[in-house]
Amino acid sequence: MALQLPSENSRPSSSLHPPLTPLGLQGTHNRSFPRPTLSQLAETWREVQGADDWKGMLEPLNDHLRAELIRYGEFAQVSYDSFDYDKHSKFCGSCRYSPDSLFKNVNLHHTGYTVTWYIYATTNERVWSLIKRTEREDAWSKRSNWMGYVAVCTDEKEIKRLGRRDILVVWRGTVTDREWASKLTSQLVECSCVDGSDHSESTPKVEAGLLDLYTSADAGSKFNKISAREYAVKEIVRLIEEYKDDGHELSITICGHSLGSGLGILFACDVANSKLNQINQERTIPITVFSFGGPPVGDGVFKRRVEDLGIKVLRVVNKRDAVPSLHTWRFVDILNSGHQHLGVQFEVDDTNSEHLDQLKATTRQETLRYEIGEKHTSAFYNHHNLEVYLHLIDGYGRYDKPPTRDPVLVNKHCGFLKNSEYVPECWWQPKNKGLKYSKDANRYFQPERAVKDHPVPPKQEVVDASKALSKSLSLHNSKS
C-alpha cells in the first residue's frame, strides 16, 4: 500500500509542507506531535472522557482532547482500511487481516491495545443492501459482514499514560453507495429500552435500519447465529470480568463513523441500560462514545434515556456534511416524536483548511438530491470522509500553522486535497488490487488469502453463552 510521492525538490517550498511523518513515529503512522505525557492525561482522563460534558474543553480545543479524538478516530479508520470491498474476492465483506495482525497491516503501530474479538452483522430484507456481498459462489459468507472489533489496552506504559485500562469497541461505518440508499430511508420504530421500572414517558424510538443491523441474527449464517449486539456484549462482559480486579481503573470507549456512530450509541445504551458496566453499587465503569459524522439515532425520549444513563457522547460534525443533519431539518422533527441528536456537538468546517479544494465540494442542495438518487458523487464523500474529519480536528483553531497530521491521509479514500498537493485520489488499496504475477504461468491471478487471515466463526459454546447472555439485555424492537 505504499504511495510514491514526489521528491522534495518537486514539491512547493513552503512551511505548509513539512517533511512527511515517518511510519510509526510517536506511536502512530501519522502523528508528529508528542502525545500527552503521563502526568497530563492520567490526571485528566475523566474530563477528557466527558465527565463534565467537555465544558471548557472545546473552545479553544483542549490539546489532550484533540489528541484523544484523533487517536480514537484512527481506531475507527482501521475498520475502513482493513475491509475487503472487492466484489470479485470470495472474502468480500470481511476483514482482510486476523485480529493479531490488524493494526500492523494498516500501519497503526505501538497502540498499546490488543484486538480480542471481531464483530459480525447480518440484517433482514428491509436493509439487506447494507451487506456487502461477493459475486462468487465460493464466498466465505453471503449473509454476513465484518462490522468492527473489540480491543483492550494491555501495555502497562500505555495504561499508565491513559490513567486507566481502556476497553475499546469500534463499529464500522458505511462503505458502499447501496448502503447509503438504504440508510437514508428513514423510519423510527418503538424500542423497549427500560429496566423494568415505571417510566411515565412514552416508549423510545430509534432508527429501524440501525436496530435491525444491530439485533438481527440468521440461523443460516455460521457467522451470525448470534447478532452483532451479542458479539459485542459477550466480549465486553468477558473483558470486564477479566480485568475488574487487576488494580487499574476501567473505562469503556466506543467509537464509530457514520453508520458506525449510530451502532455505537445503540450499543452504549444497551450496556448501560442492562447495567453490564456496573461492577457493584459503588463502582460503575464510565462509558464514552466518540461519534464522527453520525446520523441522528432516535427521538427525544431515546435522547433523554441515554443521557439519564450517564453515557457521555461527543459528536464531531463537519459543518458541510449532510449526514449528521439527516431528518432533523424537517418540521415534523421539531416535535418530540422526530429524530433528535444527543450528547455534545463539536463542529468543524472543511472550508477552514487551505489544503482542501472547495471546487471539489458541493452544495447542500446537490447533496440532498444525491441522497434520493442512485449515483455516487465524490463531493458528498469529501465532506463526510473520516480522514477529512481527522484532518480538521488536527487543524481546529490553528489552521494558520503547519498541520501536525500528514495531509496525504485525506486522500486515502477520497480526492478532497488540492491538486497542488500532488497526491492521487483514493490511493489506499492493496498492491495491484490484490493480484499477483506468476512467472511460470505468465499470468496474473488472485491468490488465496492466508489461512491465518480467514474469517473464523464463533464456536457453538460461544453462540450458546451469547444467546443466554442476551436474555438480560433490554434493547429490543417493541413490536418484535
Active-site positions?
258, 321, 384
The set of residues, in sequence order, having a beta carbon less than 8 Å from that of 316 and lying 6+ positions away, is 69, 73, 290, 291, 292, 293, 346, 348, 389, 393
Looking at residue 126, what DSSP letter applies? G
Spatial CA neighbour of 111 closest among 140, 174, 153: 153
Measure Cα distances from 408 to 162, 365, 427, 430 in Å: 28, 29, 9, 17
CA distance 312 to 319: 22
Give residue 263's identity as a one-letter amino acid code: L
Q: Cα-atom radius of gyration of the chain, to the nearest Å? A: 22
**How does strand 250-257 pair with strand 287-292?**
parallel
HSE-CB of 400 using CA atoms within 13 angstroms: 1
What are the helix (H) ranges across 274-377?
300-308, 364-371
How many degrees, rounded to 5, is the angle at CA 255 between CA 392 and CA 291? 50
Per-residue b/e over 58-95, b at no fewer than 16 CB within 10 Å? beebbebbbbbbbbbbbbbbbbbbbbbebeebbbbbbb
Q: Are 155 and 242 in contact (CB under 8 A)?
A: no
Determine phi and psi for 165, rounding to 5 degrees: -90, 120
Residue 261 has φ and ψ, to the nearest 5°, of -65, -45
Element (H, E) at 234: helix 228-243
Distance CA 132, CA 428 (A): 19
Q: Is the alpha carbon torsion for 335, 336, 339, 342 positive or negative?
A: positive
User: Do 454 and 84 meet the contact criterion of CB atoms below 8 Å apart?
Assistant: no
The pair phi, psi for residue 11, each rounded to 5°, is: -90, 150
